[in-house]
Amino acid sequence: MEKRLKRDFYERPALDLAKALLGKTLVRKDGKRMLRGKIAETEAYLGEKDKASHSFGGKITKRNKTEYLRGGHLYVYLCYGLHWQLNVTASVSGVPECVLLRALESLKKERVASGPGKLCKWLKLDKSFDTEDLVYSKRIWIEDSFEKGKIACSERIGINYAEEWARKPLRFFLKGSPCLSKE
């Protein structure tokens, strides 16, 4: 029986989704290989009011239009022209909230996905995954898991330009995980 998460799991505010995703298993099918990792760290982006969000102020661009899809889609973009970033859309269609996946714990205990760039590199993700629907995709999805652990929160990382929004406690992580991003 597949434990893939259904649409209603994702159709909630990004703040709630960021916490709910912790401990869930991200699955990536790459040819015959299956990569699996426990989601260990997330950041919530709260849409048009959030100065760190690509949709701040209600702008819609070619790059960020995926943020406006209903919850459960992937929003993948290139950061600083160097690293792909993996986000999961939250809420309902037209509400541009999303959750950045910052770290995965490999189920084989490899420490390769500690930070959003390393996470995408390990999973071999690129722009072709943008708009992918986690509910139906044959190459990437998230499965339910009941192993949670203690959740901690802090300020988001690397967004000092966002002024007061940089200091809001919108980063969530599994306390004690060996795969967290470096601050």
Cα separation, 134 vs 136, whole angstroms: 6
Please identify, in words, the CATH class of the domain defined by 7-174.
alpha beta
Domain residue limits, the chain: 7-174
Nearest alpha carbon to residue 24 among 179, 149, 157, 175: 149
Query: Residue 112 is which amino acid?
Result: V
73-111 confidence digits (pLDDT tens) = 999 998 876 889 999 999 999 999 999 999 998 777 665
- Give the per-residue pLDDT at 117: 87
DSSP state, residue 6: P
Query: Residue 63 is which amino acid?
Result: R
Nearest alpha carbon to residue 98 among 181, 6, 15: 15
120 within 8 A of 113, measured Cβ to Cβ? no
For the chain, report the end-to-end CA distance as a whole number of angstroms: 39
DSSP state, residue 73: B
Cα separation, 147 vs 79, whole angstroms: 31
- Give the per-residue pLDDT at 107: 72
Q: Report how far apart, in Å, the C-alpha atoms of 135 and of each of 9, 11, 143 are.
A: 10, 12, 10
- Give the per-residue pLDDT at 70: 97
Q: What is the pTM of this model?
A: 0.92
Count of beta carbons in the 10 Å neighbourhood of residue 154: 13
- Give the per-residue pLDDT at 155: 85
Query: Residue 130 is which amino acid?
Result: D
Torsion of CA 154, 157, 24, 134, to 10 degrees: 140
Please list the ranges in the chain whose pLDDT falls under 50.
1
Nearest alpha carbon to residue 27 among 17, 38, 18, 19: 38
- Give the per-residue pLDDT at 79: 84
